[in-house]
């Protein structure tokens, strides 16, 4: 497993219980985490690594000042040129035969189990040679000089007794959740008692595909990394080769001047381009929205369609594949976290890559490019679902001013003020004013 974020919660604890059970069966479990994930969890992570079949490493670790949150923060600030570069990859890999890639981190908010807000995301299950390719990507990171065993950073080495105590606390916490939130517990546990793997196997689409990833050494570059290290360089032939339609879905959309030149150039060449990202009211990072907002008018002037997902409540009564849910006010709000591209309704890319400077230049990413109209059509259908007028605002120009067109109860509404509270507006404005764009 390879992850950028791991948050504590019932979904993570259930997964942890399953990982321990697999390790008990003799399965070799390797977990590679971005070092920022270890904040406040270092001792717990190290305790897991005392299991004889579990190895845990952290990527691009902070070597000094790890003892408290304050010293960690100071340590990263003093070494910001490297510490702001993170491993953003999300990857599950089983026996080098089956792999899952996408935008989803680990935490209740990524598995529809958080009462306040959940992220809508997309993952791709892959089998066969592409899983082996992803295995090579994992080994590159695992064996990198930037990956260090978590035990190197622990003052008090955990023992087998500590692992036993951790198992006891884990079992007790799951039992407490079963009693206090039985519905959620049953829903999540059903995936362990009635796994969906056989259904997923029947739904597999056999297609040409390949794994793409940034070189781990990307984060060691002085300044901007060389193009040969970049996932984006591998995607360039698809981006430059699109002739009819391009759909980009990105939770964080910061095209920058090079991205604007590319998008407007393609649009001027006759390519239909649609972008789906978060609205100001839905995003979890208003600062990123502030870096995106100044480009909207230029993009719209060239005929590019912009859709911004509204903050929606979830309604999970529909069993068909869906990223976006609308309806029940009793469910938690949702924010877009998906990262996908669809080229000419023929190819689709799904992974951890956002259309922003951080994914392009600073963080490392991974994904799978599939050449198949059926799968591309399915991903496209999900993207178009998110662009529906009841789910998104369509940004348009009227008399050279931005407006946001949406639909409520079947009736069209046009907003002349951007939706979002004053604090979000302030953060967005501040980001744009002080010029954080290249870091976002």
Active site residues: 88, 90, 95, 337, 339, 344
Q: What is the DSSP letter of 367?
A: E
Q: Which residues contact 186 (CB under 8 A, 6 or more apart)?
A: none
Distance separating alpha carbons of residues 72 and 234, to the nearest angstrom: 35
**Residues in contact with 255: Cβ distance below 8 Å, sequence separation at least 6, in sequence order:** 262, 263, 292, 295, 299, 355, 356
User: Left if phi > 0, otherwise alpha if psi is -120 to 50, otherwise beta: which for 330?
Assistant: alpha
3 state SS of 123: strand
Residue 56 host element (H or E): strand 54-59
Distance between CA atoms of 405 and 393, rounded to whole angstroms? Answer: 5
Closest CA to 342 of 307, 373, 380: 380
Cα(7)–Cα(140) distance, integer angstroms: 25
Strand intervals (E) in 310-427: 312-313, 333-336, 339-343, 347-351, 366-371, 392-398, 401-408, 411-415
Which class for 79: exposed (0-12), middle (13-18), buried (19 or more C-beta within 10 A)?
middle
Q: Which two tokens stand for residue 158?
A: 């955990």
136 φ, ψ (degrees, to nearest 5)? -65, -40
- CA nearest neighbour of 158 among 171, 146, 149: 149
Contact 354, 251 (CB under 8 A): yes
Structure tokens at 363: 């963080």
């Amino acid at each position: 497993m390879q992850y950028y974020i791991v948050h504590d919660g019932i979904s993570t604890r259930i997964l942890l219980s399953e990982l321990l059970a697999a390790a008990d069966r003799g399965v070799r479990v390797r977990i590679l985490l971005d070092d920022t994930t270890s904040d406040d969890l270092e001792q717990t992570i190290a305790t897991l690594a005392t299991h004889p079949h579990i190895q845990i490493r952290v990527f691009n670790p902070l070597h000094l000042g790890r003892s408290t949150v304050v010293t960690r923060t100071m340590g990263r600030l003093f070494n910001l040129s490297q510490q702001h570069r993170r491993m953003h990859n999300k990857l599950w890999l089983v026996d080098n035969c089956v792999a899952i890639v996408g935008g989803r981190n680990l935490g209740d908010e990524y598995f529809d189990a958080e009462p306040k807000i959940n992220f809508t995301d997309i993952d791709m299950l892959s089998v066969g040679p592409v899983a082996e390719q992803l295995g090579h990507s994992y080994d590159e990171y695992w064996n990198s000089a930037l990956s260090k065993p978590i035990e190197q950073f622990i003052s008090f080495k955990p023992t087998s007794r500590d692992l036993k105590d951790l198992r006891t606390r884990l079992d007790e916490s799951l039992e407490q959740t079963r009693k206090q939130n039985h519905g959620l517990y049953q829903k999540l546990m059903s995936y362990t008692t009635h796994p969906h793997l056989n259904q997923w196997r029947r739904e597999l689409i056999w297609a040409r595909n390949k794994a793409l990833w940034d070189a781990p050494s990307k984060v060691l570059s002085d300044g901007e990394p060389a193009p040969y290290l970049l996932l984006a360089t591998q995607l360039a032939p698809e981006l430059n080769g699109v002739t009819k339609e391009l759909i980009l879905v990105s939770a964080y959309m910061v095209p920058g001047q090079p991205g604007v030149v590319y998008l407007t150039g393609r649009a001027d060449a006759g390519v239909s381009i649609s972008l789906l990202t978060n609205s100001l009211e839905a995003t979890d990072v208003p600062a990123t929205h502030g870096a995106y907002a100044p480009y909207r008018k230029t993009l719209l002037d060239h005929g590019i369609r912009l859709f911004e997902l509204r903050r929606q409540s979830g309604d999970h009564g529909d069993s068909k594949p869906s990223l976006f849910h609308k309806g029940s006010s009793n469910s938690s709000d949702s924010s877009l976290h998906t990262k996908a591209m669809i080229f000419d309704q023929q190819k689709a890319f799904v992974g951890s890559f956002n259309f922003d400077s951080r994914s392009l230049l600073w963080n490392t990413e991974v994904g799978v490019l599939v050449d198949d109209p059926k799968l591309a059509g399915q991903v496209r259908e999900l993207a178009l679902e998110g662009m529906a007028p009841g789910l998104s605002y369509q940004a348009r120009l009227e008399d050279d001013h931005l407006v946001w067109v949406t639909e409520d109860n079947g009736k069209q509404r046009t907003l002349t003020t951007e939706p979002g509270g004053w604090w979000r507006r302030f953060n967005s404005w501040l980001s744009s004013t002080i010029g954080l764009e290249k870091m976002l």
